[in-house]
Amino acid sequence: MIMDGLTPGGEPPPPLIVSSLQVSAQMARHPRKDTGPELTLRRLLFARGLRYRVQFRVPGMARRTIDIAFPGKKVAVFLDGCFWHGCPEHGMLPHSNREWWRRKLDGNRRRDLETTEHLTNLGWDVLRFWSHEDASAVVEVIVARLSQPARGRSSRLG
């Protein structure tokens, strides 16, 4: 296990190298924003009369954005893809170049946790959902949270 960027022997881990340029190009084509589940959720929220910001920058954290933000209410909504964020139900580790992928996906989960903790410390309510979750149920959770005062907490529907 790698902790704080060092191996158990105290040396830095070897650099992450993608198994092939073809795999790298294929993964780069996956959308990072405006995915099908995000668009569906945004349409449902808009139909309920809710207005929100898309790809809202996380205050104080460079290169991190909130998928759907309600800044006035301090509610941040993240719609996490099963593969990239390690869904316990659908997440999987590719068979080739397993160590690279394990480290990559572990890093994604660590970054998610850091972002959630940072926003919570700033008084934001953080809601994280898996992209496979029912969008209508997600909308109901968001609507319920928006009707309450922000308290700096985080939760996941499923």
Task: Examine residue 13 and state whether it is found in any structural domain, yes or no.
Answer: no
Residue 27: the pLDDT is 55
Task: Examine residue 116 and state whether it is found in any structural domain, yes or no.
Answer: yes
Task: Examine residue 26 and state whether it is found in any structural domain, yes or no.
Answer: no
Residue 83: the pLDDT is 85
Q: What is the CATH number of the domain that holds 107?
A: 3.40.960.10
DSSP three-state, residue 91: coil
CA dihedral 41, 42, 45, 46 (to 10 degrees): -150
pLDDT digits (tens, 9 = 90+) for 11-68: 665 555 555 666 555 555 555 677 999 999 999 999 999 999 999 999 999 999 999 9
Task: Examine residue 142 and state whether it is found in any structural domain, yes or no.
Answer: yes
Question: Residue 2 — pLDDT band, cuts 50, 70, 90?
Answer: very low
**DSSP single-letter state for residue 3:** B
Alpha-helical (H) ranges within 35-128 are: 36-47, 82-85, 98-121
pTM, full prediction = 0.77
pLDDT digits (tens, 9 = 90+) for 96-138: 888 988 898 899 999 999 999 999 999 999 999 999 999 999 9
If one counts the domains in the chain, the total is 1
Residues paired with 127 in a beta bridge: 77, 155
Task: Examine residue 106 and state whether it is found in any structural domain, yes or no.
Answer: yes
Q: What's the burial of 123, exposed, middle or buried (CB within 10 Å: 0-12/13-18/19+)? A: exposed
Task: Examine residue 15 and state whether it is found in any structural domain, yes or no.
Answer: no
The domain in which residue 78 lies consists of: 33-156
A 10 A CB-CB count for 102 gives: 13
Residue 4: the pLDDT is 45
Task: Examine residue 23 and state whether it is found in any structural domain, yes or no.
Answer: no
Task: Examine residue 5 and state whether it is found in any structural domain, yes or no.
Answer: no
